[in-house]
Structure formats: C-alpha cells, structure tokens
Amino acid sequence: MTITQLQYVLAVAEHQNFTLAAEKSFVTQPTLSMQVQKLEDELGVLIFDRSKKPIKITEAGKKIVAQAKNIVNEAERIRDIVDQEKGFIGGEYTLGIIPTVMPTLLPMFLKAFIKKYPKVHLIIKEQSTESLIRNIQDGHLDAGIAATPLEIEFIKEWPLYYEPFVAYIPPGHRLGQVDTLEPRDLDINDILLLQDGHCFREGVINLCKATKNYTGEHFRLQSGSFETLVNLANEGLGMTLLPFLNTLELDDQKKTYLKHFRKPTPAREVSLIYHKSELKIQITEALREVISGIVRGAIAFQDVKIISPVAKK
C-alpha cells in the first residue's frame, strides 16, 4: 500500500470515472487503473463497483476512502512539519474567495503578499461560500475567504476584519434626507438585493428580519453585482446596502448618496476559513498577517454588530 495508490483511489472516488481521475492525477489511465487494482488485490476487497455507470463505491470502499483521506492528509502534514522547522513559506496554495469580497480585497493585498512571500505560488478562485466549504472538505482548497460565522465542525475560522454595511440612498428616496440610519429605518421591500447564493444578500435579509418592517414578501429586483444595484437605485428603483470597501470605489457624486448607520454599526465578519487539520498553516498565517494589516488600516470602524451571513429560517 502506498500514498500514491491512496491518492488514486481518492481521485476515482471523487470523479467516479477512471479516465477523468487519471487526467486530474496527471497519469495515464492504465497506470492509475493498475495501481488501484493492485491495492484491491492486496486488501482482498473491491473498492469500486466497475459494473455501474458511473462507477460506484462499495460499502467497504466507502470506509477505505474515508481512511485514505486521513492518511493522505497526515502525509501532507509531515511535509508541513519539515517546512515549518526550516522556516520555509512557499509552495502551491489554493485560495477561494467569495464574489462579494474578491473584487475589493484581492487588489488590496495580492501585490504585497507576492512581494513578501515570493516562494508561494497562489492559485486564486472565485467561489460561493457553499463551494468553498465543499472544496475545503474535499481538499481542493487550502483555505477560503468568506463571511462568517459559519460554525461548521470541520472548519476553523480566523477573522480578518469587520466590514460595516453602508446604505446607498439617492435623492428622492424616503430616507434621502436622513443623516444616519438605524436598522429599524429599513424596509426590505424597497431594498435592491443581490441574487440568491450571495451571503451578503442573506446578511441584509437577516438585518431586516430584526425590524418590524420585515414582511417576508418577494423582492422586486435582484442582481449579481453591487454596481448594477447602485445603477438601479439611481434610476429611482429603491435603495441598496453595500459593504464598506465597495464604497471606496464610488465616484465623488455617488459618495454623497451614502448613509452610515448609528453605532453599533451592522457589519459582516470576513475570515480566513480552513480545514481543522491545519495543512499549510504557515502560509495561512502569512496570509492573515498581510491581509489584516492592510485592511484594518482602511476600515476605521470599531463599534460594530456582526450580522450573520447564514439564512435564518
């Protein structure tokens, strides 16, 4: 039994196809099939039922796959231990970032991180929170950046910063003349929202659920970008809420339409999330150090109330 054989087993279990598993493992299909077969022969049990399309994992195979994940992770930890003992921070590191954070945060820290840690090869992917969680569990991501708390058993959360909600209210809106807002001023029925699947959307809904104005009615408009929501608001179709960092990119005219909340300011917690096995923790720590140092300088708000990104039933 070898680590390589176990890695091939995990690839087949994930893709349910020997050819695709071989492509993803960068080996030929006969090589991968032969190694899996050798492992099955050694163990005296079938891991995969090849008569089914797609391939199915046998009952014994399910237990073997679960244990294989643990063994492969622990093997990776040995490399981490050696790297940490040598003080080495480098190698490939795959980071996922949610769509409502990536456009503003990535330009702020990427250049500084690359300059400080040139031996780290970052692979960055934009993914929903749901995808981040699944890919961290499956080992396809080393870490993610998402709104928290998520409170998932196998994930650790490392807060980076707290980003206030800011209202964008153009002239003519009923709140256009208000200097500062309170959550009770909001009416969910005239707030332009991001489409389903965005945790910031759920944060806005959860903020409004705490007010008497929440009715649970359907919303008139949804969109996939904050820029679109701002443009729709300018057309008199309502107001919207933005994360603080997104407001820094608005032109001077649009900034005059921003309204801040009274303290404690509603805010989202943005964290590095990673598997509790803490693989490549030295790179995760380096990311946290760089991002926190840069973003906390841009966000001066301290008295905040964290709004959950998880939909409340």
Token duo for residue 129: 């929170």
- Helices within the chain (DSSP H only): 3-15, 18-25, 29-43, 59-86, 102-116, 129-138, 199-209, 226-234, 244-247, 252-255, 281-298
Does residue 294 contact residue 108 with C-beta atoms inside 8 Å?
Answer: yes
Q: Given this model, what pLDDT does residue 301 score?
A: 58
Q: Given this model, what pLDDT does residue 218 score?
A: 46
User: Virtual CA dihedral for 103, 96, 309, 112, nearest 10 degrees?
Assistant: -50
Q: Which domains does the chain carry?
A: 3-84 (1.10.10.10), 89-160+269-301 (3.40.190.10), 163-267 (3.40.190.10)
Q: Given this model, what pLDDT does residue 70 score?
A: 85
Residues 84-143: tens digit of each pLDDT: 777 778 888 999 999 999 999 999 999 999 999 999 999 999 999 999 999 998 888 999
Residues 29-63: tens digit of each pLDDT: 999 999 999 999 999 999 999 988 888 999 999 99
Question: What's the pTM value of the predicted model, to 2 decimals?
Answer: 0.79
